[in-house]
Homo-oligomer: A and B are copies of this chain.
Amino acid sequence: MNQHIGKQTVQFGLQPVIAAAAAIAGKKEGEGPLSRYFDKVLDDDKWGEETWDKAESKLLKETTRTAIDKAGLAVSNVDYVLAGDLLNQCVGAHYGMREIDIPFFGLYGACSTMAESLSLGAIIISGGCAGKVACATSSHFCSAEKQYRFPLEYGGQRTPTSQWTVTGSGCAILSAEGTGPKITHVTTGKIVDMGISDLNNMGAAMAPAAADTLTAHFEATQTGPENYDLILTGDLGTVGSDILIDLMKREGYDISGKHNDCGKLIYDAEKQDVHAGGSGCGCCASVFCGYVYKQLQAKKFSKVLVMATGALMNPQMINSGETIPAIAHAVAVTA
């Protein structure tokens, strides 16, 4: 039986299996340390399309198809797809999934989308409402820069706290049966806004949301950092990760030995000039569905908490004097 425990957590009776996962990454991401874990690395980030936005749609579509194939399924075997992305009106997901004939729930969680889709996917499966669900998201450096900051041609200088939006996509297939890593709990975040308004310091804006959700998760499940091999945030980067570790110390938890961040893992910080690290929906998606999933399958990790964080503003709200609301969703996975 599923149980809602604490204020924000579901403990699953029927624990959804992650039957397969796929990740496709851009050229720069393919030059980083996780290269060998991606199913495909692009030579050209436009991937033969006319616009960056259309390239992002293709990324999501092909990643989803790859994951369905890897699970040994046909598209017609999948009951739902849950997906979203950063583009205005989530067109990455909509144009990508247009050619994939599966009932579709569109999500917007900014860079928390991978964890949001895994959370809702797991709830659907564990409640007996579906047998197979695809959970997917993507981001693209060029489409994100154009939309959130400046067109690439402008050549704007980047501040030291800025992060590099990952060109990449991930898709996980959840199943009501079979073998593989299992989702045991999901902890859903509340919106937290601590007054940060710098669009080039997303890590600082999102770290308090991560601390809020992580504390709620530990309290509800009566666990602590010692119960996990890895506490993986989505894209706090170097700045936000340090803040999270500090905030958790104040709550009485030392996560420093267990925490890592997809935005730190995906690039070689010294060689790749990404300042504070990677970001974007595709950061957590490609690192979780590429690297982490394979480590869970190989039992190199036995218990992982994946917690993707999202910054929920748009540039117009910031220009009209607003601050950045943020959110974090956590998904506990056991090998």
A residues touching B (Cβ–Cβ < 8 Å)? 1-4, 7-8, 10, 13, 50-51, 53-54, 76, 79-80, 84, 86-91, 94-95, 97-98, 101-110, 116, 119-120, 123-124, 126-131, 188-191, 193, 312-314, 316-317, 320-322, 325, 327
Contacts and interface: CB of A to CB of B under 8 A. Distances in A.
Contact of A53 (B3, B124, B317, B327): B317
Contacts of A84: 108
A320 B90 contact: no
Contacts of A98: 191, 193, 325
Q: How many copies does the complex hold?
A: 2
B53 A316 contact: yes
Nearest to A213: B103
Max chain B C-beta neighbours (<10 A), residue from A53, A107, A108, A123: A108
Contacts of A87: 314
A94 B2 contact: no
Contact of A103 (B3, B103, B108, B189): B189
A74 to B, nearest CB: 13
Given A7-B76, A94-B191, 20 more contacts: A4-B128, A7-B103, A88-B314, A89-B110, A91-B317, A94-B313, A95-B325, A101-B190, A103-B188, A103-B190, A104-B188, A104-B191, A104-B327, A105-B119, A106-B108, A106-B109, A120-B120, A126-B129, A127-B127, A127-B128
A105 B316 contact: no
Query: What 5 A-B pairs come out closest when comparing CB atoms?
Result: A127-B127, A103-B188, A94-B312, A89-B314, A108-B108
10 contacts: A53-B316, A54-B320, A95-B317, A98-B325, A101-B190, A103-B189, A103-B190, A106-B108, A106-B109, A106-B312
- Which of A86, A104, A322 neighbours the largest number of chain B CB atoms within 10 Å of its CB? A104
Given A98-B191, A126-B127, A325-B94, A116 B108 contact: no
A106 B97 contact: no
A9 to B, nearest CB: 9
